[in-house]
Amino acid sequence: MEGASFGAGRAGGGFDPIEFLKQPQTIVRILSWVFSIVVFGSIINEGYVNIDSPELHCVYNKNEGACNYAISIGIIAFFACVFFLILDINFPQISSVKDRKRAVLVDMGFSAFWAFLWFVCFCFLANQWQRTPYSPAVDQASDAARAAIAFSFFSIITWVVMAVMAFQRFRLGTDMSLFATDQFGSGPNGEYPGYPTGSGIESTETYQSPPFTENADINPKGYQAPSY
Three-state SS string over 4-69 comes to CECCECCCCCCCCHHHHHHCHHHHHHHHHHHHHHHHHHHHHHHCEEECCCCCEEECCCCCHHHHHH
Which residues, 6+ apart, have CB-to-CB distance to 15 below 8 Å?
89, 92
DSSP helix/strand/coil, 176: helix
Backbone angles phi, psi at 191, to 5 degrees: -110, 165
Among residues 87, 73, 93, the alpha carbon closest in space to that of 29 is found at: 87
Report the distance separating Cα 161 and Cα 35, nearest Å: 14
Does residue 54 form part of some domain? yes
Does residue 221 form part of some domain? no
Structural domain count, the chain? 1
Domain coverage including residue 151: 29-172
Judged on CB neighbours under 10 Å (0-12, 13-18, 19+), 105 is: middle
pLDDT score recorded for residue 209: 54
Angstrom distances, CA of residue 164 to CA of 33, 57, 81, 91, 192:
17, 38, 16, 18, 39
Does residue 133 form part of some domain? yes
Q: Which residues of the chain have pLDDT under 50?
A: 1-3, 7, 11, 177-188, 190, 192-196, 198-204, 206, 216-217
pLDDT score recorded for residue 12: 53
**Amino acid identity for residue 64 in this structure:** E
Judged on CB neighbours under 10 Å (0-12, 13-18, 19+), 47 is: buried
pLDDT score recorded for residue 184: 40
Does residue 197 form part of some domain? no
Backbone angles phi, psi at 16, to 5 degrees: -110, 105
Does residue 19 form part of some domain? no
Does residue 216 form part of some domain? no
pLDDT score recorded for residue 71: 97
pLDDT score recorded for residue 96: 80
Does residue 50 form part of some domain? yes
Does residue 63 form part of some domain? yes
Q: What is the pLDDT of residues 71-104, one digit of tens each?
A: 999 999 999 999 999 999 988 888 788 888 899 9
